[in-house]
Amino acid sequence: MKKNKLFYFVLLAIILMACTNNSEQIKDDSEKGTIPSEVEKYAVPKSSVSWNSDKFNKLSIDDLFDVYKAEKNEHRSELYYNNLLAMWHTNFYSRTSQLNEEQVNVLINDMSRMNSNIPSMATFYSLVNKNYKLSDPKRKKLLDDFYNKNKMYLENASWNNQELQKQKLGQLNKLQFLN
């Protein structure tokens, strides 16, 4: 009986020491900045042209689109990939009138494939309206699919700020209603 108690006592002491040592190591590493947070893993690198508004506005639309395609292919496997695309799509909003038909179609297809695209909702609606070659049924399907997917995302996401959720739903409803 005493041997069992002693065994469990020693085992408990070893576990406590291991946990204490491990937590001190984690604390040291986090203070040094060597443990990336979950948020950082989803952050778009500052080297992306989507962050640099001067460069974004100075490049010709064709050069800019080439950079978009290159960054899209380069970062496809990264956790921040959807955030990168959303930044690009949002930035393209001010230049949609300069895009050619092929570029518009690529962007519409990219945005349609995303699980959600709340930051660049206006860009999507603008691009679909710019594409005059879309038949009415195909245009309606694209808009309805985009609307339903993003509405479901907005309604099911966990929000700290309920007002912001209502605002985003209102924006989406307005865009859909006007189209």
The class (CATH top level) of 37-178 is: mainly alpha
Model confidence pLDDT, tens digit, residues 46-104: 777 778 777 778 889 999 999 999 999 988 888 888 888 988 898 889 889 999 999 99
Model confidence pLDDT, tens digit, residues 116-136: 888 889 999 999 988 878 888
Return d(Cα 31, Cα 37) in angstroms, integer.
Answer: 12
Return d(Cα 79, Cα 76) in angstroms, integer.
Answer: 8
Where exactly are the structural domains of the chain?
37-178
pLDDT above 60 (res 178) = yes
- Site of tokens 């179609």: 105
Model confidence pLDDT, tens digit, residues 149-166: 999 999 998 889 999 999
Identify whether the C-beta of residue 104 lies closer than 8 Å to the C-beta of residue 131: yes
- For every residue of 90-123, DSSP letters joined together read HHHGGGGGG--HHHHHHHHHHHHHSS---TTHHH
Per-residue confidence band for 109, with pLDDT thresholds at 50, 70 and 90? very high
